[in-house]
C-alpha cells in the first residue's frame, strides 16, 4: 500500500484553466490534464527560473518529489503543444498560499493572501467578484493548512544547523 500524498503548496491559482489550439472546437480534441501541483512546478522552474531546491522549498516538498513533478508537467505540456490537445489545469493535492480575485464588472484583478477576503471591488465597488481559488474548490481548507506550516523534507532541511 502506498503512502498518502502530501499536500503541496501552490502560490496562486492559475488565471486560466484551459488552453487549446486556435480554430478547433474543444470538444473534438483529446484532453491533457495538468494537475495544479504540476502547474506550480512548471511555473516555479520554467517561468520564475528557480532551481529545483528553491522550488521544492516554495512548495513544501522534497527536491526529488519536485523533480518528478516538473518532469511530468513538461511531458504533458509538450504533448499538448505537439499533439494539439486541450490542456486542462485541475486537481492535485494542493493548498493555495494566496488568491486572486477578479472583478467581473471592471476587470480589475487583486492578489491577496488566502486568509484575506473582501466583498466588493476596491476600484468600482461592484459585488460581482470571481474567486479564482474557489473555482478550484479551495478556500477555508487552504487557510487552515497554511496555519500549520512545516513538515515535509524542505521544512526539515531548513531547521538543520
Residue boundaries of the structural domains of the chain? 8-159
Per-residue pLDDT tens digits of the chain, which is 161 residues long: 667 677 889 999 999 999 999 999 988 999 999 999 999 999 999 999 999 999 999 999 999 999 999 999 999 999 999 999 999 999 888 888 888 999 999 999 988 888 887 788 988 999 999 888 887 776 666 665 655 544 333 333 333 22
Please, what is the Cα angle at 128 between 140 and 109, to 5 degrees?
A: 75
pLDDT of residue 59: 94
pLDDT of residue 152: 37
pLDDT of residue 140: 61
pLDDT of residue 39: 96
Nearest Cα neighbor of 63 from 89, 84, 44 is 44
pLDDT of residue 88: 95
User: For residue 108, what are the contacts with CB-CB under 8 A and spacing of at least 6?
Assistant: 102, 121, 122, 123, 124
pLDDT of residue 149: 45
pTM of the model: 0.80
pLDDT of residue 156: 31
Location of C-alpha cell 480534441:
29
CA distance linking residue 11 with residue 98, whole number of Å: 6
pLDDT of residue 155: 34
Amino acid at each position: 500500500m502506498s503512502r498518502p500524498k502530501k499536500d503541496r503548496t501552490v502560490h496562486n491559482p492559475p488565471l486560466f484553466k484551459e488552453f487549446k489550439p486556435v480554430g478547433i472546437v474543444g470538444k473534438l480534441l483529446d484532453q491533457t490534464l495538468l494537475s495544479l501541483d504540476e502547474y506550480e512546478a512548471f511555473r516555479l522552474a520554467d517561468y520564475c527560473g528557480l532551481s529545483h531546491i528553491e522550488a521544492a522549498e516554495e512548495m513544501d516538498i522534497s527536491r526529488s518529489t519536485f523533480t518528478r513533478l516538473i518532469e511530468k508537467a513538461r511531458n504533458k505540456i509538450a504533448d499538448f503543444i505537439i499533439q494539439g490537445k486541450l490542456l486542462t489545469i485541475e486537481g492535485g493535492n494542493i493548498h493555495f498560499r494566496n488568491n486572486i480575485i477578479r472583478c467581473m464588472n471592471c476587470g480589475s484583478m487583486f492578489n491577496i493572501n488566502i486568509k484575506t477576503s473582501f466583498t466588493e471591488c476596491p476600484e468600482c465597488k461592484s459585488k460581482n467578484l470571481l474567486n479564482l481559488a474557489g473555482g478550484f474548490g479551495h478556500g477555508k481548507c487552504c487557510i487552515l493548512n497554511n496555519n500549520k506550516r512545516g513538515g515535509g523534507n524542505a521544512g526539515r532541511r531548513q531547521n538543520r544547523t
